[in-house]
Structures are given as C-alpha cells and as structure tokens.
Structure 1
Amino acid sequence: MSFRKRNIGISDGSRAPQLPCSASTPPVRLPGVRPSAADGRPVTSTGSASLDGLFAGHGGLPLGTSVLLEESGTTDYAGALLRFYAAEGLMQGHHVHVVGLPEQWGRELPGLASESSKKVVEAPQDDKMKIAWRYERLGQHGADLAARDRTSVAASDAAPRQGEPQQTPFCHTFDLSKRLVHPSTAWIKFLHPDPNPAKNCFASVMSELASVMHATASDTIHRLIVPSLMSPALYPFYSSLPEQILSFQHSIRKLLATYPKRLTVVQTLPLSLYPRSAGLTKWIELLSDGVYDLTPFPHSADAEFTTSRDSNTKEEPPQGLLRVHKLPIFHELGSGMPLADTDWTFTLSRRKFTIKPFNLPPIEGDTDAQQVASKDEKPKKADMDF
C-alpha cells in the first residue's frame, strides 16, 4: 500500500517559467504631497509651516478639504496667507485658480527666501526656565510649531538615493519683500464672476473650474483661492444673497467630493462686513472643513508688548490672536488629533508667518521675579518651594 498523496495532479515534468522577482516599485509621489502623520491621507502645504501644524496633527492641508480664514478689522493678514498658499502651489507645479482678483496679483507673489534667512538662531542658555529639571521644558510645549514641522519635513524629504531624482521640499520659505520668479511649470488662472444680475455670479466660475479639472490629468493637484468672500470691492453687490453665496459653497463641496485627492480650497471672509453672529456666516462655516479667525491687536497693545519684552530677544511681538473654531478632518472616524486648549498668536514678518501659544509678558511691577531671572547663578535648593 502506497502512501502517495491523492490530491497532487500528474504533471509531464515540464516546469512553468517563473517570472523574475523584481523589487517592489515604490508608490508614485506627487509633487508637494505627502502622507499625513495622523492617518496617512495625502496632504499638501499652505506655504506656512506654522499654519500646517494647526491641521489636527496632519502636518498639512488634507486634499479634498476647504479652509475659511476670517479676519477682523482693515488689515490683510489673511491675504498674506493666500499669497503663501498660491506661491507654494506654483513652486510645486500645482494648478492655481484665483477668483475675483486681477492678473497683477499673480505677479506680486512672494519670492523664495535666501539660504541665510532660513538659519534659525538658537536662544541663549540663560533663557531656560530656572526651576526644577522636570519642569525645564514645560514652556517649550507647542512653542515652535514651525521647528516641529521642519523635523517631520526632513524625515519625509530625506536625501534621495543614488539614481533617484532630487525631490522638492514640502514647504518652501518665502520672502514678502521679494517677487516670485514663476517656474516654467507654473500654471495660474484668474476667474471672474459673471456681471449679469439675472444669473448666479459664481456659476461661470464653477463651470470653468470643473471643465479644467476634468480635462487635466488625474495626478494634477489644483488649488482654489477665493479672497474676501462677498466683499463689494471684488464681487457684485448681489453676491451676498443667500441663493448666490450658498449655492457657490455647495458647488465647492460637490467639486471637493468629486475630486477628493486633487483639490484644496482656501477662502477668506471679512468679519467687519459679515460678523460671525450673522446666519449667513454660520452657514458658510458649516460648509467649510476648517475655520480660523484672525483678530489683530490694536496699536496700543503692540506697543505694550514691544516695551515689556526684553530688548535682547530677537522675537518679534505678536500682532494678533488666532482662534481655531473648526479643524479639517478631525471628526471623521476619529481621524486627527485635537489641539492644545490654549490661545494662539500670529506674527507676520517679512519672511514668515509664525503662530505660537499666547503668553502674557511679565508684569513690570514684579521686581522680585525680574531680579531672580536676571541672576546668572541657579536658585538654591532652599529657595524652591513645592
């Protein structure tokens, strides 16, 4: 009795040709796009490393989402963020669509900063908190989002191997005092609302945008910029009607759902004309994935911050408060990470837009604390009270 297996088929002895084992090909990486640090979804940079750090831990703006930047007063800090966003898209080879602005705006985008301006000056050792060692790094928690994001960028944008093409950085550094030299792959288009009051002024904008996205390749990333939403300086007076603006917002949501991995949208809204208490503004916030509020400080507050800070420090005083009302991709299946329950300040300099936690300056009348901080020697153990 033989013990041969009965489930083996009879073969003629000829072996099938085996395919050569090739190394697994790495996934195709789109320019200016990297996986999220939270859940791996594709994200892109807004041109500001500090703002990229406020997107629920994703390290960038997730594709298929929209962000609403609200600003109070007559300043234009949100407009500077739009310029960074557009300049970053042009440097990455993305298609940039601008609504309502003239073509001159595209020639005034900030240029790339020089290498000398990218160097970070380390703080002196005397600025460390002179308390117990376990609390030494307490004040550094979330203090420099840009530096933390640069670390993640360096990890993802590591030096390519031999034979691989050089990769462009995920987030460039721009200088507002310079003008951007558009690369050969730059693509920017200006869309203007329809002046016919009998039609929806944004219908032509959305139809043209949809046709362009349908005609381009599937690996082309698009950026839509809508500045000063419903402002009479850029749009017709009837653009603020609910049937006009809400239809436009729903069209954006539909386009984002149609192309979830190819489109991002950034809009700005002047709160001086349309406050957050208005019902129309609340509807626009509901139809946006992320909502951020920029509140500039009065000039008197800027002077107080400037005089109260140490003259030896090279940090610029904050210019306003930044409030986060809504985070993109934070509630969907538990994706993303919540931000620290703190207030944020922003500072717009010539080379960067910095966001930091809001810390009040030391009181001028507290001379005891100033004298202790000015001493070079460490406090004695008997002086520490727990």
Structure 2
Amino acid sequence: MAFRKRNIALSRTPEASLDPSSPSSPLPSQGVAPLAHSSPQPAPSIPGVRPSPIDGRATTSTGTASLDAILAGHAGLPLGNSIFIGESGTTDYAGTLLRFCAAEGVVQGHKVHVVGVGEGWGRDLPGLHEGREEQKEKKAKEAQERTEKMKIAWRYEGLGEHGVARGSSTSSSGQEESVFCHTFDLAKRLTLPVGTAINYIAIPPPSKSSSFVSVLESLQQHLASSPPNSIHRLVIPSLLSPALYPQFASQPQHVLQFLHGLRALLRKYPARLTAMITIPLTLYPRSTGLVGWMEHFSDGVLELSPFPYDPIQALATSAGATKDEERPQGMLAVHKLPVFHEKGGGGAGLGDAGEDLAFTVSRRKFTIAKFSLPPVEGDTEAQQGAAHDAGGGTMPKKEDLEF
C-alpha cells in the first residue's frame, strides 16, 4: 500500500485571516467591530406572564388555578387565544370565572376591557384572600421587628441598618406581586387602583348598523396606543343576552363578523391579548349553526351544566358535610382547548382520558375536579368501602378474616 505525501501550504495563521486589516481578509476593513463573546440579555419579565412548560409560549392565568390546570397542559391561557364558555340554565357560574379573570388582570397590572356592562360589574370583583398562614406570618414578622427595635439602642435607629431592612421588605412585596395566580374571596371586594385599570366598552344604541364595530375599534385603539409589553384582557359577559344587546345583534352577519375580527386581533397581537366570552345556552343552544360557528372562531370551548336545585337534598348535604367536603354545583365539559394540537398538548391530568369533570363554587374559590357518583342506597358493601376510605381504614372483623 503506497502512501502519498500531500503538501498543504499554510501561508497565514487563522488569526491573520480574520484580521480586518489584512489584505486577504474576507471581512471588509471598514465598519466591522471586533468579535466579542457577549452573553444574551434575558428578556424583561412581565407580571402575570410565564412560559408554558410544553413549548415555552407566553401564558397568563385565568384567575382560577383549577381552570389553568386543564388548558392543554400549558398551566394557563396562552396569549393570543380566547375561551368561549357556555352555560345552561338561569345561573351565572360562568360570570364568576369572568370576574376571577378580570380581578387577576387588575392585580397583575394588565389592561382589562369589559364589554356590555357598566362600572357596577367592576365594583363586584372579588377581593384578595388572606389565608390564616399568611396572617400568622405577618403577625410573627411584625413581632420580630418590634423585638429587634427594642434590642437596638435608640441612638442607632437613624443609621442605615433600618434602611436595609426596609429594602428587604420591599423585595418581599415584589415577590408577592410576581405570583402567577392569586386566590380571591367572593365575600370581599377588590379595591380598584386609581386610574383606568378597567375600560368599559358600552354597546351602541340599536340605530347603528352593527353593535360590535365600536368594540373592535376601541380595542384596536388601546392596543396600538399602549406600550408593546402591556397585556390586555377582553371580558365579554353574557354575549347576545337580550338584557344587554339589541335584537339584531344575534344575526350572523353581525356577531360572526365580530368574532372573526376579534380572532384577527388575537392573531395580530399574539403576545399581548386574551379574551374570555360567556353565552347563555338556554337562549342559544349548541345545536344551532350560529353557536357552532361561534365555537369555531374560538380557541377554547367549555360548557357548564349546573345541577337542578333540590332544597331537601341541599339541606341534608349541608348538614352532614364537613368543611373539606363540598357538593359540586354542576358538570363541566371540555369541547376544545387552545393550542391543543401543537407539540402534543394535553398532559393536564384532568379530563385526558375522557373523565367527567365537575365544578364547585364556594365562598373563596371556583374548583374544577374529577366527578364520581356516591354509593347507591342499599349497597352496603360500597357504602362500607366509602366509609373505610373516608375514615382512613379500620381493622377488619374476625369473621372477615376466616376463610
């Protein structure tokens, strides 16, 4: 086997070939800055926005932690998407979800746009819930600060040590502001900040040709005039309700054109705008073609089906239930989820395998959980098994151990 010598002439060093002043350098000699290894600057964080654990897209909270958990595994509502919630009956549980969403936006400093209702709706937003643990920590912290002040001599109080302590308290408050999803209390009322935190968009009189043109124009104007890192939330309670909208608003050429224009705005501002809409299904059933097209223009579709109210059963349940046991108010059906088809989606743990979901509205929270029927009356084995599971297990009898 013969070896052949290969002469490779290296006339210049790699450093010389990259020198802009060299005549044979491929880089131009003018207007070229020297190469530097600079680390990428992190993007500024926006309150109430975090990346999705699936694909990293920006998501925000709906104000309800259990609702965030079922949104296709994104742990929140992806920006640039909408949720369409239908509810049958005369209840307004869907309106509670909208109030949580609006309250979360106000607390996070987002711009909230509410369509069709007045300032009275905004004054009924739930306030922040302060748990017992938070109150205990607050009292313990205040007691610790008082003891530290008593230990330090009075002549050292004006020095810079107390300024450092105050700075740490502000940093701790900054951490509280970075909470993704807050807990609200329906028995309290949220104190709105001074300024225009909520933009109320009124429905024009019936003399107009279309009731939704002004809504899109107002929303477009606020998006164009606001900073590029601002987050906007559109909330539309009881869409097409006769108490809020004129009769011709339910015609397809009006409402479908509005939803089509809203979808265009969501795609134009994919990192700044979200929307939540509710509709009374008793007046507009899902079997109609109008509601079908409305769901088609929405990214997520949910349906609330409240249980019929039985005062006797409700009294018996409230008398025998504990604080941890709360009777669900109805069923929740997930018909479509936002960004479910990209990169797998799902993985939320609720409703993935076709499981039934139920919702419970208590004084302080709106909870979505798996639904299971209680044991049938007369089935002693099932009732004993349920009691065994609820009581943490008991020792079996001697007769049960004999074969």
Paired amino acid for 1:358? F
2:193 maps to what in 1? 183
CA distance in 1, matches of 2:292, 2:40: 49
Letter in 1 for 2:115: V
What displacement does 1:168 show?
1.8
Q: Please give the alpha-carbon distance, in whole angstroms, between the structure 1 residues aligned to 2:305 and 2:263.
A: 27
Is 1:241 matched up with 2:248?
no
- Please report how far the alpha carbon of residue 234 of structure 1 lies from its aligned counterpart in structure 2 after TM superposition: 0.7
Conserved? CA contact 2:232–2:272, under 8 Å:
yes
Residue pair 1:308, 1:362 contacting (<8 A) in 2 also: no
> Whole-Å Cα distance in 1 between the matches of residues 66 and 346 of structure 2?
17
1:6 is aligned to 11
Q: Distance in 1 between matches of 2:398 and 2:232?
A: 60
**Quick check: 1:26 aligned with 2:42?**
yes
Aligned-residue Cα RMSD (Å) equals: 3.4
Alignment partners' CA distance in 1, 2:199 and 2:128: 21
Tell me the amino acid that sits aligned with residue 261 of structure 1. Answer: A
What displacement does 1:55 show? 0.4
Render the CA deviation track for 1:123-156: whole Å, top value 9, x for unaligned.
xxxxxxxxxxxxxxxxxxxxxxxxxxxxxxxxxx
* Aligned ranges 1:1-386 → 2 under 5 Å: 5-8=10-13, 9=16, 24-116=40-132, 166=175, 167-184=177-194, 187-300=197-310, 303=313, 307=317, 311-312=321-322, 314-332=324-342, 334-337=344-347, 339-371=352-384, 373-374=387-388, 376-379=393-396
Q: Is the 8 A contact 1:111 1:180 kept in 2?
A: yes
Q: Read off the aligned partner of 2:11 and give its amino acid letter.
A: R
Distance 1:220 1:361, change over 3 A: same
- Residues 96, 189 of structure 1: 8 Å contact kept: yes
CA distance change for structure 1 residues 312 and 87 in 2, over 3 Å: closer, same or farther? closer
More helix by share: 2
- Alignment-derived partner of residue 138 in structure 2: none
Aligned residue-pair number: 341
Q: Give how far 1:18 is off.
A: 7.7
Cα distance change, pair 173–237 in 1 and its aligned pair in 2 (3 A): same
Preserved CA contact (<8 Å) 2:240 2:250: yes
**TM, length-normalised to structure 2:** 0.76
Query: Do the aligned partners of residues 163 and 45 (structure 1) sit closer, same or farther apart at CA in structure 2, a change above 3 Å counting?
Result: closer
What is the rounded CA distance, in whole Å, between the counterparts of 1:286 and 1:292 in structure 2?
Answer: 12
Q: Greater CA deviation, 42-51 or 370-379?
A: 370-379
Provide structure 2 residue ranges, at least 5 long, that are not aligned to the other structure. Answer: 1-6, 23-31, 136-167
Contact 1:50 1:354 survives alignment (8 Å): yes
Q: CA deviation at 1:27?
A: 2.4
Distance 1:256 1:381, change over 3 A: farther
CA contact (8 A) 2:55 2:343 kept: no
Once the two structures are superposed, what CA deviation does each residue of 1:100-134 show, in whole Å capped at 9, x if it has no partner? Answer: 00111111110001122889xxxxxxxxxxxxxxx
TM-aligned CA deviation for residue 314 of structure 1: 2.1
* TM-score, normalised relative to structure 1: 0.79
